[in-house]
Amino acid sequence: MKIIELEIGCEKPVFETILVNPEKILVLPKGYYEKFMDYMIQEEMYEDIPKLESIKGKVSDKTLDEMLEGREWTELK
């Protein structure tokens, strides 16, 4: 079985937000959701799985890159 590790710069902060304050998550790429679920099972974080499941309705089929490409970026003036 492959050991799952979360990327410190992007995945880890999102994961921590889900654990501490899941209602702050507006949208989550499906790949993140699946990886976080696998990670929780691997780390035997069974008591925290309901926090992840509580945002299942906010999961997008798009990847993070696709989500970023579709966003209109504006310059601050």
3-57 pLDDT, tens digit per residue, is 999 999 999 999 999 999 999 999 999 999 999 999 999 999 999 999 999 999 9
- Count of domains forming the chain: 1
**Domain presence at residue 30:** yes
Whole-angstrom distance, CA of residue 60 vs CA of residue 39: 19
Question: What stretches of 1-77 adopt beta strand conformation (E)?
Answer: 28-29, 59-60
Quote the CA–CA distance of 72 and 51 in Å, as a whole number: 30
Confirm whether 65 is domain-assigned.
Answer: no
| pTM for the whole structure | 0.85
For residue 14, being part of any structural domain is answered with no
Task: Kindly state whether residue 27 falls inside one of the protein's structural domains.
Answer: yes
Question: What is the domain extent for residue 27?
Answer: 21-60
Q: Per residue in 42-58, is it b (16+ CB within 10 Å) or e — as a string?
A: eeeeeeeeebbeebeee
